[in-house]
Structures are given as C-alpha cells and as structure tokens.
C-alpha cells in the first residue's frame, strides 16, 4: 500500500464510527470471524479498543490483521482502522494509484 493510498483510506475512515469493540475478553474466534465478514462487506472498518482491554492497541491491530488477512491503515489511541481489498466484482473502494 502506498502512502497516497493509506492517506486516502485514513480520510475515508475519519467520518466512520467504530463497528466493533474489543473488551476484556480480547480477541475471540467469534470476533475474528465477525471482523473478517465485515471486511468482506465493507472493505474498510474501524474498531474501538475499550479501556478494560489489557492488550496494546498496536499489537492487537497486528494480530487482527494477520488473522483476517487485512492491512492496518492506522492506529490512533484506542482506535484501529483496517482495510482488505474486496473481490474484483465486489469492490467498493477504488484506491488512487
């Protein structure tokens, strides 16, 4: 992912609300599955890490992106933004070159 593409995705994510929250239970297989399905449907999602979660948001972002085969766009405070390119026929976001 180029710097220009990352900046474009960050700008799209600014207006988004988090659709998942990671809490005390941290990453469960069910949450991983739900995030993967959301990435398939939306391509770009925002996740909120709650205060009662003991894990570091940056480490959590890496774990989630590895498990869902997505890319970490950014981690700001306790917010994680992930992107996974959709299949050719289902692309919603066109990245700049």
Strand partners, 81: 46, 74
Q: What is the CATH number of domain 3-84?
A: 3.30.110.60
Q: Tokens in use for 53?
A: 């979660």
This prediction's pTM: 0.88
- The values of phi and psi at residue 2, to 5°, are -80, 170
pLDDT number for residue 90? 66
pLDDT number for residue 89? 66
Of all residues in the chain, what percent carry a pLDDT higher than 90?
56
pLDDT number for residue 34? 93
pLDDT number for residue 28? 86
How crowded is residue 42: how many other Cβ atoms within 10 Å of its Cβ? 17
Mean pLDDT of 82-94: 78
Delimit the domains of the chain by residue range.
3-84
> Is 95 or 49 the better-scoring residue by pLDDT?
49
Going by their DSSP bridges, the two strands 20-22 and 71-76 should be labelled as: unpaired
Q: 15 Cβ partners below 8 Å, 6+ apart?
A: none
């Amino acid at each position: 992912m180029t710097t220009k593409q990352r900046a474009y995705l960050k700008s799209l994510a600014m207006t988004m609300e988090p659709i998942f929250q990671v809490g005390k239970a941290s990453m469960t297989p069910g949450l991983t599955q739900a995030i993967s399905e959301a990435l398939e449907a939306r391509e770009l999602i925002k996740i909120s890490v709650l205060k009662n979660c003991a894990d570091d948001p940056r480490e959590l972002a890496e774990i989630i992106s590895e498990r869902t085969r997505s890319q970490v766009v950014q981690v700001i405070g306790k917010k994680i933004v992930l992107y996974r390119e959709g299949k050719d026929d289902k692309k919603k976001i066109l990245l700049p070159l």
